[in-house]
Structure 1
Amino acid sequence: MPQPTQYNATLAGKVALVTGAGTDGDGIGIGKAIAIVLAGEGARVCLVDRDAERAEQTCATIQDMGGEAFVAAGDVTARADCSRFVEETLGRYGRLDILVNNVGVATPVALDAEDESAWSRVLDLNLTSAMLMSRYAVAAMIRNGAGSIINISSIAGIRAHGSLAYGPSKAAMAALARELTVLYGRQGIRANTVAPGHVLTPLAQSLLPEEMRAKRRNVGPLGLEGDAWDIAHAVRFLASDEARFVTGVHLPVDGGVSEIGPMAGHALIEADARATH
Structure 2
Amino acid sequence: MKGPEDDAGLAGKVAIVSGGGAAGDGIGNGRAAAILLARAGTRVLVADLDLKLAERTVDMIKAEGGHAAAHAGDMTKEAECKQLVDAAVDRWGRLDFLDNNIGIGSRGSVVDEKPDEYRRVMQVNVETMFLLSKHAIPAMIKTAKGGSIVNISSISALRPRGLTTYTTSKAAVIGLTQAMAVDHGRDHIRVNCICPGPMYTPMVNRGNGMSEAARAARAKASVLKIEGTGWDIGHGVRFLLSNHARYITGHVLVIDGGVTLQGPERDSAT
Summarize the alignment of residues 252-263 of structure 1 with structure 2, pairs less than 5 Å apart. 252-261=254-263
Q: Give the Cα–Cα distance (whole angstroms) in 2 for the partners of residues 114 and 88 of structure 1.
A: 37
* Equivalent AA in structure 2 for residue 256 of structure 1: G
Q: Which has the higher contact order (CA 8 A, sep 6+)?
A: 2
Which residue does 1:163 correspond to in 2? 163
Question: 8 Å contact 1:109–1:119 — kept in the other structure?
Answer: no
**Is residue 200 of structure 1 aligned with residue 200 of structure 2?**
yes
Summarize the alignment of residues 207-222 of structure 1 with structure 2, pairs less than 5 Å apart. 207-222=209-224
**Is residue 58 of structure 1 aligned with residue 57 of structure 2?**
yes
* Equivalent AA in structure 2 for residue 153 of structure 1: S
Question: 8 Å contact 1:199–1:228 — kept in the other structure?
Answer: yes
Q: Give the Cα–Cα distance (whole angstroms) in 1 for the partners of residues 261 and 217 of structure 2.
A: 17
Question: 8 Å contact 1:109–1:118 — kept in the other structure?
Answer: no
Question: 8 Å contact 1:15–1:97 — kept in the other structure?
Answer: yes
Q: Give the Cα–Cα distance (whole angstroms) in 2 for the partners of residues 248 and 152 of structure 1.
A: 13
Summarize the alignment of residues 127-142 of structure 1 with structure 2, pairs less than 5 Å apart. 127-142=126-141
**Is residue 191 of structure 1 aligned with residue 191 of structure 2?**
yes
| Structure 2: unaligned runs, 5 residues or longer | 1-6, 266-270
Q: Give the Cα–Cα distance (whole angstroms) in 1 for the partners of residues 170 and 102 of structure 2.
A: 11
TM-superposed deviation, 1:205: 2.6
Question: 8 Å contact 2:110–2:165 — kept in the other structure?
Answer: no
Summarize the alignment of residues 1-277 of structure 1 with structure 2, pairs less than 5 Å apart. 10-113=9-112, 115-143=114-142, 144-206=144-206, 207-261=209-263
TM-superposed deviation, 1:211: 1.8
Residues 64-108 of structure 1: per-residue CA shift (max 9 Å, x gap): 111111111010100000000000110001111000000000033
Identity of aligned residues (%): 44
Q: Give the Cα–Cα distance (whole angstroms) in 2 for the partners of residues 110 and 153 of structure 1.
A: 19
TM-superposed deviation, 1:242: 1.1
Pick which of 101-110 and 218-227 moved more.
101-110
Q: Structure 2 vs 1, CA of residues 68 and 178 (structure 1 numbering), >3 Å: closer, same or farther? A: same
Pick which of 195-204 and 88-97 moved more.
195-204
Root-mean-square deviation (Å): 1.6
* Equivalent AA in structure 1 for residue 155 of structure 2: I
Structure 1 or 2, whichever has the larger Rg, is: 1
Q: Secondary structure at the match of 1:258?
A: helix
Q: Give the Cα–Cα distance (whole angstroms) in 2 for the partners of residues 89 and 213 of structure 1.
A: 38
- Structure 1 length as normaliser, TM-score? 0.88
Question: 8 Å contact 1:48–1:74 — kept in the other structure?
Answer: yes
Q: Structure 2 vs 1, CA of residues 11 and 112 (structure 1 numbering), >3 Å: closer, same or farther? A: same
TM-superposed deviation, 1:146: 1.3
TM-superposed deviation, 1:259: 2.2
Q: Give the Cα–Cα distance (whole angstroms) in 2 for the partners of residues 165 and 115 of structure 1.
A: 10
The structure 1 segments of at least 4 consecutive aligned residues displaced by more than 6 Å after TM superposition are none
